[in-house]
Structure 1
Amino acid sequence: MDSSKIIPVTIGLAGLGILLFAVSQTSKNKKAGAYLDAGISDTSFNAKEVATMLYNAMKEANFTNAEKRNTIFTALTGVTEAQFSKVSIAFGSRYYNTLTGNTYFAVWQTPKKHPLKLWLSEELSTEDYKLLKSNYPKQL
C-alpha cells in the first residue's frame, strides 16, 4: 500500500476519535450539571426580591398570622431548593425579637440577628414549618 494513502486515513481516524471523545465529555458534563443548575438558570428569579418579601411579611407585629402565612407561601411558590438557598443567603441574618415576634426591642433587650430559618420557624405554625421543611430539607 502506498504511504501517501495511509497518512490521510490515519489522520482522519484520529480526528474522528478526538471528536467522539469531546462529544462524550460534553454529554457527561450536561448530565452532571442538570442537577446542579436546576432552576438556577431562570433569569427572572430574583432571590433578593423574595428575601425582601419574606422580611416585610414577618417583621411587623400588626400582620395577622394568616396574612404572614399567605405572604410567605406566595413568595415561595415555585421556588426550587437551589433557589431557596439563594434566598436564604440574600436574607442573611437580621434582627429579630424571639419574645415578641417582630423587629422591635425594649430598652433592656439586646438585639440579636437571626437567619431566615429561625424567622420562619418562629413565624409559622409547626405544621406550616414542617411543610416548608419538606420542600427545602437541606436549608431548613
Structure 2
Amino acid sequence: MEISKIVPIAVGVAGLGVFVFAVAQSSKNKRSTAYLDSGVDASSFNASQIATALYDSMKQADFTNTQKRQAIFTALTGVSEAQFAQVIKSFGSRYYNTLTGNTYFALWQTPVKHPLKIWLKEELSEQDYKLLKSNYPKQL
C-alpha cells in the first residue's frame, strides 16, 4: 500500500500526555465512489435479490447505522445506474415508519408504504445519501 497522507481520527488526553490516533490513507482509489466502479456482470445481476438484501438490512431495528450503511453499500457495489433503476422497480413500495426508522408501527399509526428512495434517505446520513445520489442522479 502506497501511503499518501496520515489523517488524524481521534485525540485523547490521559494524565499529562496527549495522544493522537491516526489512519494512513492510500493514494490509490482517490474517488469516493470507487465502490461502485467495478460493475456487475449482466449475467450475475439479480435486481430482486439486491432489493431484498436492501430491505432486509434496512428493516432491522437492532442494526446500528454503521451496519446498515455497510450492508447498503455492499449490496449496491458495482450496480450501474440502469441496474439501479431495476432494483428500484423490484423494491417497489414497502411499509416503512419514518418516525421510528423501521417497519414497526404503533396501534395509533397508519402504516404507509414508501419507495426505495425514501428508505435510503431515512436510513443513510445526509453525506452518504449525497454520495449515492451522485452515482445515481437520475434515480435519486
Same fold per superposition (TM over 0.5): yes
> Do residues 70 (structure 1) and 67 (structure 2) align?
no
1:137 match? 137
Letter in 1 for 2:137: P
Letter in 2 for 1:109: Q
1:103 match? 103
Distance 2:114 2:124 in 1: 15
Letter in 2 for 1:138: K
Letter in 2 for 1:44: S
2:91 match? 91
- Greater gyration radius: 1
Distance 1:110 1:128 in 2: 29
Distance 1:67 1:89 in 2: 24
SS of 2:67's partner is helix
1:14 match? none
Structure 2 residues without counterparts, runs of 5 or longer: 1-38
SS of 2:117's partner is helix
Query: Normalising by structure 2, what TM-score?
Result: 0.71
Letter in 1 for 2:69: R
Distance 1:89 1:136 in 2: 14
Shift of 1:60: 1.1
2:115 match? 115
Structure 1 residues without counterparts, runs of 5 or longer: 1-38
2:40 and 2:79 in contact (8 A); partners too: no
SS of 1:114's partner is strand
SS of 1:49's partner is helix
Shift of 1:41: 7.6
Q: Which has the higher strand share?
A: 2
- Percentage of identical aligned residues: 73
Query: Normalising by structure 1, what TM-score?
Result: 0.71
Distance 1:70 1:62 in 2: 14
Q: Count matched residues.
A: 102
2:79 match? 79
Q: Which has the higher helix share?
A: 1
2:45 match? 45
Distance 1:50 1:105 in 2: 25
2:40 and 2:78 in contact (8 A); partners too: no
